[in-house]
Every structure is written in structure tokens, then in C-alpha cells.
Amino acid sequence: MSSELPNLYATLGLDRRCTLAQIRTAYRLLAKQHHPDRNPEATEALARTQELNAAYETLSDPSRRRVYNRDLDASKEISSTRGTRRIERNISQDVHLPIDAFFRGTALEVHVKDPANPNGTETYRLDVPPATAPGARFRLPRRGPSEGGIVLIRVKVLPGFRFKTRGSDLRCDLRISAQRATQGGSEMMQGPAGTQVRVPIPPHVSRGEALCLRGEGLPKPRGGRGDLLVRITYRPEVRVSRCR
């Protein structure tokens, strides 16, 4: 069975260089022409309309169109290599790791699914050294029918409930008492590396204010660490007195 994607441009009678206006015009004309209400005796009218709708939904959305173009190129390349009895040698894959793995390092098995490989899923061991930066890439030599190629693996941060990531910078919330917010001082919290981090609290800190802790974020590609932005949250203390 062919792995090549259907050509949505051809479905609308267009080429790949068409504009958004041309996509809209072609869809309106063809949808009207093939609508089941206008072709009650044509059994293929419904299927044709569904094809037109699917093509329009993808190609009229710029982000979805970019993804489709990329996948279309990939499927054509795979189809071509199958036709010449060759497997695509190089393949890319993302792996998500918990935050602590970027500090202490880790080892894991990576399962790669290459639709052009008749042997099915390939398994590789990935060793991530300590102090690895998010976005780092690892090149692993492939085996079997794809020997001579590489698996390019990019490590990304696994989303968590405590820390939000942006590159090597992290964001988190810290809840303090209203008294601490007024008087200032310091608070201790568990940092991303698993150690306790001291957070200086300035007097009269505002609710929602972000305090920057330099060098307490994730490892950076060229050494050092990013920043940790701590957003302050607190609830005013409410005292209830008895009415007389």
C-alpha cells in the first residue's frame, strides 16, 4: 500500500503555489457544483463533497497548510525510496524528558517508527549526559536495512504542573503570606534541580509580581543556566470580629 498522502491541491484543481484567495474561490465553485442536493442521483456526490471539505479545511489554514506541505514532501520521498527498494536513511524524532533529567542525566530506550522500514519499530539506547540543555540534539547510527543513516533525536522538556519552560528559562508560582508580602524577607522553595532555593522577597511585593532568580533555570546550550522567574501569589488575611 502506498504511503503517499493524497494531493489536496489536485482535489481543488490547483497547484501548490496557489494563493488563499484561489483556494477559497475553487472550493466555493466545486462545493456548489458537487453538492449532494444538486446531484441527488449521483452516489459519489457525498464522497466528493467530503473530499473538498477536507482539502479546504487544511489548505485554508496557514499553519495546517505548512504541516501538510511538509508531510506531503516526506511521503513522496518515502514513496520514491520504496520504489527503488531503498529505505530513507535519516529520520528525526523528539523525546520529552522530565526536568530533573536535564540536570542529572538519564538513559532510556527510544522507539523509532519508520513507515519505510519493513522490519517495523526500531529501538535505540539514548544516553543523555548531566547538564544537557533543552533542545539538544543527539545523532545515533541506524542499524538493519537503514544502516549508514542516523536517527536525529531532539530532547524537549516534559510539561509539568510546577514549572513552565521557555528555552532554558523557567516560571513557577510561590504562595506567601500577606505578612511576608508586606514586611519582605525570604522564602525557601524546591528548585528545578531538586535542591532548596532561597527567594528574596522585597517589602510590599505586589501580587502577581515576578521575581527573577538568575542562574536557577535549566542548563543552557553553551554552559551556565537560564533564569527562574518566580511569580508571587498570596491571599490577604481576613480577621473576623464579633459584632456587638
Residues of CATH 1.10.287.110 domain(s) within the chain?
Answer: 8-83
Residues of CATH 2.60.260.20 domain(s) within the chain?
Answer: 91-157, 164-235
Q: How far apart are CA 225 and CA 99, in angstroms?
A: 13
Position 206 scores a pLDDT of: 92
pTM of the prediction?
A: 0.57
In sequence order, what are the residues at sequence separation of 6 or more whose Cβ sits closer than 8 angstroms to the Cβ of residue 59?
A: 8, 9, 12, 23, 65, 68
Predicted confidence band at 244 (pLDDT cuts at 50, 70, 90)? low
CATH H-level, domain 164-235: superfamily? Urease metallochaperone UreE, N-terminal domain (2.60.260.20)
Residue 215, number of CB atoms within 10 A of its CB: 10
In 3D space, the residue among 167, 172, 108 whose CA is nearest the CA of residue 133 turns out to be 167
Instruction: Assign a CATH topology to domain 8-83.
Output: Helix Hairpins (1.10.287)
Strand stretches in the chain, DSSP E:
91-97, 106-112, 122-128, 137-141, 150-157, 164-166, 169-177, 185-190, 196-201, 210-213, 228-235
Residues 62-108 have pLDDT tens digits of 999 998 888 888 777 665 555 444 555 788 889 999 999 999 999 99
Residues 31-48 have pLDDT tens digits of 888 877 777 666 677 778
Q: How far apart are CA 19 and CA 58, in angstroms?
A: 13
Q: CB–CB of 132/155 below 8 Å?
A: yes
91-157 belongs to CATH 1.10.730.10 = no
First to last CA, the chain: 85
- Calculate the CA 80 to chain-centre distance: 29
